[in-house]
Structure 1
C-alpha cells in the first residue's frame, strides 16, 4: 500500500512541480472521464448518460470561469469536488470524491489524504483548461 501511495504522490508532485499543470491536466482528464463524465458528460457540459435519471441537471463545467467574471474559481471547484469541507454546492447528490479517493488508498493513512488531494487538484486543473 505504501508504494502505491508514494507513487501517486510522487507523480502528483512531478505533474504540478516539474511538468507544470499540463501533466496534472492529463491525469485530471482521465480521472474526470472515469468519475465525472457519467453525469457531466465527456465534454463536461452537463449532459452525461445518467442525467435523464437525475432530478437536478449537472452543471456545465466549461462555463465556471464565465459565470465567475472570467476568473476560474479554483478553490471553490476543489471544495465541491472534495465534498468533505462543508461546501455542498450541489445540495448533496454529488458524491464526496475526497472520501472516495481517500478510501481507495486506505482511510487511516496520511498518504491516502495526500493522494486524494492530488487527484482532486488534477481534476481542477483539467476543468480550468477546458473553460470556454
Structure 2
C-alpha cells in the first residue's frame, strides 16, 4: 500500500502530533527524525509517498551535521526529479535565514507550525482523501 504522507521532524513532539493526525484521518504515513534517513528510505522504495511534510531546519549548523542540515533540500530535489511536489510542504517554527534560502532555491510551499494552514493541510486532504 503506497504511503499517503512522509513526515520528517527532529522534534519528536511534532512527529507524534503528525502521527495522531494521520491516525485521525486514516492516512498511512512514514515518520522520521532524520532527513538523511528519510532520503535513504525514498531512494530505496518503489512507490513514492503522495504527500510530504518536511521540517526545513533539522539540525543546528555544525561541521558534523552539514548532511542533516541539507537533507530537507535534498529530499525536495529527489521528489521533484522522481515524483510530484504538488503535495510537498516544508514546515518550520519560524522562518530563519536558512529557511528563506531553502524556499528561494525550491519555490516550495511552506507551513508555519501552529498556524491554521498547518492543520488544514491534514484535515482537507485526509477528509477528501486527496493526497
TM-score (norm 2): 0.24
Larger proportion of strand: 2
What TM-score do you get using the length of structure 1 for normalisation?
A: 0.24
Structure of higher RCO (CA pairs closer than 8 Å, 6+ residues apart): 1
